[in-house]
């Protein structure tokens, strides 16, 4: 059984998630086994100390990365990368420079006209917590469904320390990794294809975030 395609380990046939047995070879499936998505070949690897930040190309840059000022309360900024994929590991590294800032990624983002949808993973350094949501919206009206809501984790580094936020997706398997530590696995088939993005935001006031790098890899 592999996470990318959910295939039978005995015969290689495709599986439906939580099916009691393989429909082809009738092997009993043990869904209690851990599925682990790992990084494969890169789609891209960017260092924002010299590479432009998609969606915010004129952001001030230094050897530390791109420095982003979030000016509005409870506001979020993001920028899209080139590939649109089904299975990927999207990772962003950055530092929240005050208590209000947060860092995250978006995956399987799609849109048509004023409508949009996708998954969002955010890490909140001041709160040492993270949140994974599904979002569907039209213009400025967003419907957000928590998949994991405001979960504390010691893996989240505090304000002024580096955080690496990563969402790994393969078929209906989604895995959260923060600072190299696997946090949790959830299953969802709501969005199966789309773009990848970085995101930063503020909880309730002006915030400053330093984005250092971003990368995306094939999921294996």
Longest dimension (CA), the chain: 58
In this structure, what token pair is assigned to residue 73? Answer: 């309360």
pTM: 0.85
User: Each residue of 143-169: pLDDT tens digit?
Assistant: 899 999 999 999 999 999 999 999 999
> CA angle at residue 41 from 40 to 43, to 5 degrees?
120
- Spelled out in words, what is the top-level CATH class assigned to the domain 39-219? mainly beta
The full set of domain ranges for the chain reads 1-33, 39-219
User: Each residue of 6-47: pLDDT tens digit?
Assistant: 678 788 888 776 677 888 898 887 765 567 899 999 999 999
CA distance 192 to 170: 9
Element at 189 (helix H, strand E) = none
Closest among 95, 119, 114 to 170, alpha carbons compared: 119
Beta bridge partners of 165: 92, 178
């Amino acid at each position: 059984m592999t996470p990318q395609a959910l295939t039978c380990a005995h015969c290689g046939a495709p599986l439906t998630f939580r099916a009691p047995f393989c429909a082809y070879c009738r092997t009993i499936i043990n869904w209690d086994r851990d599925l682990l998505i790992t990084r494969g070949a890169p789609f891209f690897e960017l260092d924002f100390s010299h590479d432009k930040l998609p969606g915010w190309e004129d952001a001030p840059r230094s050897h530390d990365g791109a420095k982003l000022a979030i000016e509005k309360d409870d506001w979020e900024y993001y920028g899209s990368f080139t590939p649109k994929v089904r299975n990927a590991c999207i990772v962003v590294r950055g530092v929240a420079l005050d208590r209000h800032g947060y860092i995250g990624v978006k995956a399987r983002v799609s849109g048509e006209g004023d409508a949009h949808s996708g998954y969002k993973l955010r890490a909140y350094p001041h709160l040492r917590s993270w949140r994974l949501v599904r979002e569907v919206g039209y213009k400025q009206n967003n419907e957000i469904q928590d998949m994991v809501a405001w979960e504390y984790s010691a893996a989240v580094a505090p304000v002024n320390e580096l955080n690496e936020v990563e969402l790994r997706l393969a078929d209906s398997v989604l895995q959260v990794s923060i600072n190299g530590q696997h946090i949790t696995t959830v299953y969802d088939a709501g969005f199966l294809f789309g773009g990848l993005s970085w995101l930063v935001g503020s909880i309730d006031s002006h915030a400053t975030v330093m984005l250092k790098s971003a990368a995306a890899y094939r999921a294996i």
